[in-house]
Amino acid sequence: MKLKIIDYFWAVGHRTKRKGSHKIPLAEGELREINYVQFRIDKVEKDKAQISVIRRDGTVIKEINVEKGKSAYYRPMSMDAGHEYVLKLTKFF
């Protein structure tokens, strides 16, 4: 399985457009940076994975559990606009 991170740009109150889709092999310790947000794969099991969102200094901001067939959602704290991310486990690239 792979981790798929879909990047959306949003304005106040609504999504404006899809910015991109990133596909990452599920390997413990894998670290990817997308728009200054780092995603690290901490634990991989048969049908789920634990993902940490971390700052550049190594501090964990949030831990997200993603299960096969379901999606998880992460929006960094912002008051006006920015990026938001949908995380899914997929079988293929």
3-class DSSP assignment, residue 92: coil
pLDDT at position 44 over 70? yes
Residue at 34: amino acid letter: I
Q: What angle do CA 65, 63, 15 make, to 5 degrees?
A: 80
Lowest mean pLDDT among 4-13, 35-44, 58-67: 4-13
* Burial class, 66, CB count within 10 angstroms (exposed 0-12 / middle 13-18 / buried 19+): buried
Residue at 64: amino acid letter: I
Q: What is the pLDDT of residues 18-34, one digit of tens each?
A: 888 999 889 999 999 98
**What's the pTM value of the predicted model, to 2 decimals?**
0.82
